[in-house]
Amino acid sequence: MIIAPSILSANFTRLGEDIRTVVSAGARWVHIDVMDGVFVPNITIGPVVVKDIRAVTDAFLDCHLMITDPERYIESFVEAGADGITVHAEATHHLHRALGQIRERGCKAGVSLNPATPLDALAYCMDLVDVILIMTVNPGFGGQSFIHAVTPKIKQAASLIGDRDIILQVDGGVDMNNIVMLRDLGVTSVVAGSSIFGCQDPGRMVKELIKRAETQVC
């Protein structure tokens, strides 16, 4: 299980320190939520910040673009040092082209689906996908509750992936209470923001989540 702490819930006045804490606790990915105030109601960070993050960590920089027409910014995020770029199927008229552009630039290509979006959107581009990101909250904010109605879609995504080398990621409302259930559904990466950075000891929470995800239920 790849734990990807979302820096949306980190303290931006000491971002480098927060990132070092979670990475040294075992998080291999750092999840960066990019919001444009159009596709989602919130505005967050752009390539300038990604570039500075790149300078302080070797962790995989997992850039989740919650922006309209994401193709316009793929190049900028690649240049800034992204390792993976995930675009929303709902945010582009040309998902197939966008995924190809990400791959061509040497990044892992991800596609994200809002809670109400069916898996059908992926049907004809599976050969271009490295990461499928199932949103379990409506994107835009950290600290929301996990939407249980999305659980069947996670299961269907796992069977769609089958033997393919595709990471199944879930984002939104992930914590100690649902990580085992997600793992059992076939999820191979979880994004967690408030459950990690909202607690007293984010490093310890990363370790606990990793340990919990490795727990074998008899």
Q: From the CB of 213, what's the least distance to Zn ion, in Å? A: 18
Nearest to 168 by CA among 114, 120, 110: 110
Q: Residue 55 corresponds to which tokens in the numbers above?
A: 């300078």
Indicate which single residue of 89, 171, 182, 209 sits in contact with Zn ion (rule: CB under 5 A): 171
64 counts as binding Zn ion under rule CB under 5 A: yes
88 binds Zn ion (CB under 5 A): no
For ligand DX5, the closer CB: 77 or 164 = 77
Residue type, 213: A
Q: What beta strand segments (E) does the chain contain? A: 2-5, 29-35, 60-66, 84-88, 108-113, 131-135, 167-171, 189-192
Binding site for ligand DX5 (CB under 6 A): 6, 8-9, 31, 33, 64, 137, 139-140, 142-144, 171-174, 191-195
Q: Is 62 in the site for Zn ion (CB under 5 A)?
A: no
Backbone angles phi and psi of 185, in degrees to 5:
-80, -10
Choose the contact partner of 18 out of ligand DX5, Zn ion, none; CB within 5 to 8 A by kind. Answer: none
- Candidate list 33, 36, 62, 83, residue with the active-site label: 33
As a whole number of Å, the CA-based R_g of the chain is 16
Reading the block at residue 40, the tokens are 């989602």
* 137: phi then psi, degrees, rounded to nearest 5: -140, 165
Identify which of residues 45 and 128 has a Cβ nearer to ligand DX5 in the complex. 45
Q: Is 184 a catalytic residue?
A: no
- Which of 71/171 has CB closer to Zn ion? 171
- Closest approach, Cβ 62 to ligand DX5, in A, equals 10
| 8 Å CB contact between 32 and 45 | yes
- CA–CA separation, 194 and 137 (whole Å): 13
Query: Which H or E run contains 140?
Result: none
Distance CA 121, CA 74 (A): 20
Q: According to the binding rule CB under 5 A, does residue 36 interact with Zn ion?
A: no
Residue 173 interacts, among Zn ion, ligand DX5, none and using kind-specific CB cut-offs from 5 to 8 Å, with ligand DX5
The yes-or-no answer on residue 171 being catalytic is yes
The partner in contact with residue 130, picked from ligand DX5, Zn ion, none with C-beta cut-offs of 5 to 8 angstroms by kind, is none
3-class DSSP assignment, residue 22: helix
Q: Which is nearer to ligand DX5, 109 or 137 (CB)?
A: 137
Which of Zn ion, ligand DX5, none does residue 137 bind to, with CB < 5 to 8 Å depending on kind?
A: ligand DX5
Q: Which residues make up the interface to Zn ion (CB under 5 A)?
A: 33, 64, 171
Residues forming the active site: 33, 171
